[in-house]
Structure 1
């Protein structure tokens, strides 16, 4: 495991394998891959296997407001690892992490901050 992987692990905490994410959402693994391609979810390869942050899936659904933020970050040129780091790193202006703000139904505020990084 590289230092980058350890840093992401410290930020993200719990990960789901592709199979676990598919089971949690009640869909096929191919559908989860498509969700990642469509920026509905974000996954990175860890230890040779695709992994998705468990925090992105709640009660059998994808966290509301996540897709818009992931799309803005991807359009801004963020790699999946950079997007994860941004989503899970505390921002004093929110307060908390962007993910905390999305969980608190403040996705629009998070997307504004993500868009502002482009300027």
Structure 2
């Protein structure tokens, strides 16, 4: 079994992150499914203080935020590293307005994906 990929912690320290067991509990899934989602690039994990964690903003209720997986895929296909993807998702964009992750959480994924696709050209 391959190891779980982890990005460097490029987020502000005030961005809440959840250790993988907490992510599994919130999603009501075994931790093996969370690890597989990370390997499949459906989620991005980072190491904070030596602990593998996922940004809490990636989850809404008991699900992964709608549109996040597709956005991660589009950015990956555009050549973004996991660190660059995290920075992009958590950096304010005046044209949205706000951060792309917040727009995804507000069900404005189409606009976020459109901007992500434009980065690939």
> TM-score range with shorter-chain normalisation?
0.7 to 0.9
1:9 aligns with 2:12: yes
1:96 aligns with 2:83: no
Which is helix-richer, 1 or 2? 1
1:73 aligns with 2:75: yes
Aligned match of 2:28? 26
1:109 is displaced (CA, Å) by 1.1
1:93 is displaced (CA, Å) by 0.9
5+ long unaligned stretches in structure 1: none
Superposition misfits of 4+ residues, deviation over 4 angstroms: none
1:9 is displaced (CA, Å) by 2.9
Work out the CA distance in 1 between the residues paired with 2:78 and 2:65: 21
5+ long unaligned stretches in structure 2: 1-7
Q: CA RMSD in A?
A: 1.6
Work out the CA distance in 1 between the residues paired with 2:44 and 2:88: 12
Q: 3-state SS of the aligned residue for 1:8?
A: coil
Count of aligned pairs: 114
Q: TM-score, normalised by structure 1?
A: 0.86
Q: TM-score, normalised by structure 2?
A: 0.85
